[in-house]
Amino acid sequence: MAKKLRVFVGLSGGVDSSVCAALLKEQGYEVVGVYMKNWSQDLPGFACPWKEDYYDAKRVAVQLGIKFQMFDFEKEYRDKVVDYMLEAFESGITPNPDIMCNQEIKFKLFLDTALDKGADMIATGHYANTAEGQLLISADQNKDQTYFLYRVSRDALNKTLFPLGKYKKPEVRKLAKKYGLITATKKESMGICFVGKVGIKDFLQQFVKTKEGNILDQKNKIIGRHDGAIFYTIGQRHGLDVGGGLPYYVTGKDMSKNEVYVTSDIDDAKLWRKNFELTSLHWINQPPQNDQKLFVRTRHRAPLTKCIISVTNQKAVVVLSAKQRALTAGQSAVFYDGNRVLGGGIII
């Protein structure tokens, strides 16, 4: 009789990872649940939910009759994800910590640690699919998380299972109830990937020094004050302390002058781009051919847009079929050829 494959499942304490573990056990794998402790620091007015999530993950493991462990990655997470995020914001760009977490923690550190401890493969509750080292979009295109996974390596994908890839979210909730999981009705966590309900501004205020500065409109007229240029991103409308009754949108900022620039014109050229450049490229398999026609997603849930890409060394130039609003330095552009994810890079 063939030995069962041993799969270490990242159990976050949420419904998706819980169903992921239940499905794998039902499919005949030897499943080990693992809670990754990435962050435990409380912030003023916000208690870090890690203990609640840890105990929910442990309860699910008990319900399923599987072994359970905790991997403490807090130091590495601070070094690889949090410090990266803080440095990026301080330089004036808007990073995506979820993407860096997947690259450095879940599909590198967790994978390596699991393999060292006897795993054959790992699994997570992401909505994505894989096939022969390829990353493919999930059946639930509304929940698809391939945008956040584009920096995962081919080798890691070959060692990873995504059991939820063929399901839609309502089906996953139904499965959780079918299995009687205690997380079946648990709400999804929002906010920063590692601090639960804390918003990005509340988090940044604890770690970076900021000072007030001027907000200038498209005519270079001072129309208000901001409480730190670091908090504002291209296209932002809410959170601007300006009067006049008109909606204003952030078009840029100057970190050295501590100024934020806005416009009341939704058609302002500074808000719209058809061409942009990328750096820090990552291709899962082969890079695309120059002038290859693809689809690109420039932020999570943004519509796929037709584009042409040209790659030179570690940079790429992208030409969109139509202008897009609020392309933001520091965010990722991810490229798709049909349902296959090729990779992507960081917008500059």
User: Residue 45's pLDDT band (boundaries 50, 70, 90)?
Assistant: confident
101 classed as catalytic: yes
Does residue 1 fall inside a structural domain? no
Distance CA 222, CA 225 (A): 8
Domain around 39: 6-200
Last residue of a domain, one of 180, 200, 220: 200
Question: Do 42 and 122 belong together in one domain?
Answer: yes
User: Residue 246's pLDDT band (boundaries 50, 70, 90)?
Assistant: confident
Give the per-residue pLDDT at 193. 57
Q: Is the separation of the CB atoms in 226 and 214 below 8 Å?
A: yes
Last residue of a domain, one of 200, 233, 248: 200
Alpha helices in 165-296 (DSSP H): 169-178, 200-204
Which of residues 3 and 15 earns the better pLDDT score? 15
Distance CA 304, CA 161 (A): 25
Does residue 329 fall inside a structural domain? yes
Question: Do 170 and 228 belong together in one domain?
Answer: no
Which of residues 326 and 199 earns the better pLDDT score? 326
Which of residues 63 and 47 earns the better pLDDT score? 63
Number of domains into which the chain is organized: 3
Q: 145-163, pLDDT tens digit by residue?
A: 999 999 999 999 999 999 9
Amino acid at 226: H
Which of residues 43 and 337 earns the better pLDDT score? 337
Question: Do 242 and 318 belong together in one domain?
Answer: no
Which of 224-233, 243-252, 295-304 has the lowest average pLDDT? 243-252
Angle at the Cα of 189 from the Cα atoms of 111 and 121, rounded to 5 degrees:
15
pLDDT exceeds 90 at position 141: yes
Question: Do 124 and 254 belong together in one domain?
Answer: no
Does residue 228 fall inside a structural domain? yes
Last residue of a domain, one of 244, 263, 282: 263
Question: Do 97 and 220 belong together in one domain?
Answer: no
Q: What is the mean pLDDT of the chain?
A: 94
Give the per-residue pLDDT at 244. 72
Question: Do 176 and 233 belong together in one domain?
Answer: no
Q: 75-130, pLDDT tens digit by residue?
A: 999 999 999 999 999 999 999 999 999 999 999 999 999 999 999 999 999 999 99
Find the catalytic residue in 20, 48, 193, 307: 193
DSSP 124-157: ---S-EEETTEEE--S-TTT--GGGGTTS-HHHH
Provide mean pLDDT across the span 40-53.
88
Give the per-residue pLDDT at 2. 59
Helices 169-178 + 15-26 axis angle, to 10: 70
Does residue 189 fall inside a structural domain? yes
Q: Is the separation of the CB atoms in 240 and 214 below 8 Å?
A: no
- The CATH number linked to 220 is 2.30.30.280
Question: Do 194 and 225 belong together in one domain?
Answer: no
- Beta bridge mates, 254: 259
Find the catalytic residue in 20, 48, 101, 307: 101
307 classed as catalytic: no
Nearest to 227 by CA among 257, 249, 205, 247: 205
Question: Do 140 and 192 belong together in one domain?
Answer: yes
Which of residues 138 and 314 earns the better pLDDT score? 138
pLDDT exceeds 60 at position 267: yes
Does residue 230 fall inside a structural domain? yes
Strand pairing of 222-226 and 213-216? antiparallel
